[in-house]
A and B are shown apart, each in its own frame.
Chain A
């Protein structure tokens, strides 16, 4: 029997290849994701190992509020360095500075890494700890710096050039005196790096006398573990909570795992999209197996008359599925290498040349790829395989024998209804139930969506005829015969058309869901700006970096500027959990911001004392506090204070958890900079002229900040929503591509079945062009059925999810225009999918076609 299977696969080469593509694409995305993230992880691992290779121990500050949330961790005081140096066994110890910074040329143009990678500022390390090598020039003294050679080349800098460096401290002009490289080849994984003399680095980062890390070398004979123990013993109790001592190796590992935690989100997101592509592929496998088995009814009947048992037939079909799954997985793995390499090359093009020895292919990747490919193919082939076993031996003798209807066929609509309804229920549960973990919530929503898709796909065969009739009508009016025959062909085998359309439905449901959701996000951002922002000018950094404190007073001095209000952003532990903290200036905030009060009023702001707090409604309900409650606040600098709630505002994208007075947050918190400075023109001043003056000031003095009108805030919000939208479209493209092959496959198989009909049509005067259009219109009808169902499901998904987010100010909208574009897209998609099958059909040799049996 297995011989028959194999020969069957080879003789149906084309179909087999088309079927395999459906699985190859999805598997390539999954394996590519693993390879990519493994490669990045390994690369950073190498970077950190290199950076810490000669360091026996490091002493770093930790934040008492913990984790990576919130502002930067306050640096170590100089006293710690003295302490470490006096520890027995320490041969050498130095304090280092490392922080994010921005560099500008003297015209105010940013010199930075491309693609969102940060610019990192370091103090020049002692030679024994150095992981960077000088490529040209000399190490810096005074107001000089060296820069990594990648940035140097990218921005066409030259030695002796003066640039402006901005971190938390005052902006400083510095001369480039050299270039460096990291480790043996590259840069810090795409980040731009500059090295400054320690004292200058401390001044620029406003950390005079302080350090972000102390690097330690032990005397020979003392192991890193020993020296760590000894230093720990020296740290006084008062500092224990704020200082971490560990070996260089551990520190490198910590840093790597921080990177891989950061990558986890990317990994999961990419895997989800790969999974969707595989899910779509399963529909195509199911369809192909159903069609080929229907076409082989006589052959199967013959095998049965020759004595093959049902179990043997089942095994033969499942073996075929297994082989297709296995080969597809292996090809998917190969394609995944290509995909990962492609993305890697894109990274490289953006300057992020990771110092990798090559693509990392873990055993786990191979196992997952093969398991997913084989299991999905076999699962999708199982139902058709079962139906094959029901072919009676007599089928061998009958002309045009049909596959017997499944025993459960008449229950299908019921099962479909139940599955679909269950999907909606799970979806609603996922959206509305109180679940703390976002991951769990999304998994439940995902499971609901999968059930909904299956339910809709199962009910689709019943919808194909009416939908094809409705869609065929205008086409038939327009084209007459080709449209009519296309419509008839599409509805001839409703299940086949339904499953093909359903594969596209999934992609387009998700596409229309995100289209709707993005429109809602844009609308809510617009509404929030209109509702809450009263300031005419908003000054902030477009990448979300903080801006210097000196901006607000400088802007206030500009002629024509009226009220100026600075907003500080920080994080603290409030009543046990890490929360966002905003610092507002009560005397001016009301001129630039409109609070949406739940409890309290603007008077609560004007009369705000140093230990008064405003909280958002979500924070209040989450922490079960109200006006009059007191909150225990622990800052990143380990300060403890108790504040009292005097008002509750509606949470917004501008103000979330807790708002305190600016000077309270300012006094000794970690964040030394402002988040936003907002200003209004003086009454009667020329609004445009004032904006020009602010722009000029920022450009020359504070290039890190830019002024935005309310319109520009909206546009920026729109831009970031659109960027995300584009990214998701790109990721969903793989699933849509899989469904494209589904349509091609179905068309090719159907044309093969209708060879004789096509021959007859050609004989009686149908031109090649007409034959092509018959195939194209069938494809368009199938694709548009998929689009209509996809839109319907997408709208349902969006409606449910929007309802769940209504408290966030997100309102259900239907961007009809954008959604219709997807229907047009589906039509074009259908025409593209039909291109090759239509050519094949038109090229059929008439004589062979009519002689064909």
Chain B
């Protein structure tokens, strides 16, 4: 397995933190508050799930935390760097170094092989690909025999595993996953969740996952519930049934 990142020194500091985070859409009468004054922090080596009804602001929160969008007010800090002061270029480079993504629709490049898709972030950064750790990663996501395949030749679950490997390869401070199992059958979902779990346990990877799926959230160490742009519950590990009970209460 890969070496665990050296988190001992910084363990006191959260990898990602948001303060007074507000995001408004539109103007005047039509104004919508997607997030209202959200305070949240994620510690290194933790696996957190973000849940909530549709429209509660989950994606908005994730986009702001990942530096893909800018808040109306409030701050986001990733690995000690405050995002507000950064221009597009600096923000891009920060995402490149410190953030990994797993999307619902996999978002692989169809012309590249699985291996090329995985190493894409390194190549974008102009970094050398370390063959040994690449091989380890391929083993870990179970794609060693599929590395020459193109996305069209892989199943949905395999494609999502490629996407996870792609997120892992740069050893980012945090990986954001937006409904990673939303497009998968239950078997593939389990494999994908298992892989994310192992990344946290074995590598000390920090993961923040937005999901609708109670089974998925049950894998996490912590579950943040959003309603109407606010954090309404912030729980530790819950079982799927407990999660469903919480969700029933929320609009």
Q: Which residue numbers of A lie inside 8 Å of B, CB to CB? A: 480-481, 484-485, 488-489, 491-492, 756-757, 759-770, 846-847, 850
Contact = CB atoms under 8 A, between A and B. Distances in A.
A765 B92 contact: yes
15 contacts: A480-B126, A756-B105, A757-B107, A761-B124, A762-B92, A763-B66, A764-B100, A764-B124, A766-B92, A766-B96, A768-B92, A770-B124, A846-B68, A847-B68, A850-B103
Interface in B96-135: 96-97, 99-101, 103, 105, 107, 109-112, 120-121, 123-126
A488 B95 contact: no
Contacts of B201: none
Interface string B131-170: 0000000000000000000000000000000000011000
Nearest to B96: A765
B121 A488 contact: no
4 closest A-B pairs by CB: A765-B96, A488-B111, A760-B107, A481-B123
B64 to A, nearest CB: 10
B93 interface: yes
Contacts of A491: 111
B92 A767 contact: yes
Interface string B178-215: 00000000000000000000000000000000000000
Contacts of B111: 488-489, 491-492
A767 B96 CA distance: 9
B112, B124, B167, most chain A CB atoms within 10 A: B124
A480, A492, A757, A765, most chain B CB atoms within 10 A: A765
Nearest to B126: A480
A485 B111 CA distance: 9
A485 to B, nearest CB: 7
A765 to B, nearest CB: 2
Contacts of A770: 124
Contacts of B120: 481, 764
Given A481-B124, A488-B111, A763-B68, A768 B88 contact: yes
B251 interface: no
A764 B126 contact: no
Contacts of B101: 760, 763-764
A481 B89 CA distance: 17
Nearest to B106: A760
B152 to A, nearest CB: 9
A700 B99 CA distance: 85
B184 to A, nearest CB: 14
B235 interface: no
A767 B99 CA distance: 14
B95 A480 contact: no
A326 B177 CA distance: 51
B123 A484 contact: yes
A632 B34 CA distance: 102
Contacts of B89: 767-769
Given A765-B121, A847-B68, A850-B103, A481 B96 contact: no
A765 B97 CA distance: 8
Interface of B: 63, 66, 68-69, 88-89, 92-93, 95-97, 99-101, 103, 105, 107, 109-112, 120-121, 123-126, 166-167
Given A480-B123, A764-B124, A768-B92, 6 more contacts: A481-B124, A488-B111, A492-B110, A763-B101, A764-B96, A846-B68
Contact of A757 (B63, B66, B97, B109): B109
A726 B121 CA distance: 48
A756 B101 CA distance: 14
Contact of A760 (B63, B66, B96, B103): B103
Nearest to A491: B111
A489 B111 CA distance: 8
Nearest to A485: B109
A660 B88 CA distance: 83
A765 B126 contact: no
Nearest to A489: B111
Nearest to B89: A767
A495 to B, nearest CB: 15
A757 B106 CA distance: 10
B109 A764 contact: no
B124 A765 contact: yes
Contact of A767 (B68, B93, B123): B93
Nearest to B66: A763
A846 B166 CA distance: 19
A620 B96 CA distance: 80
A748 to B, nearest CB: 19
Contacts of A764: 95-96, 99-101, 120-121, 124, 166-167
Nearest to B167: A764
B69 A847 contact: yes
A764 B103 CA distance: 11
Contact of A765 (B63, B93, B109): B93
B99 to A, nearest CB: 8
B124 A766 contact: yes
Contacts of B100: 764
Contact of B63 (A761, A769, A847): A847
Nearest to B90: A767
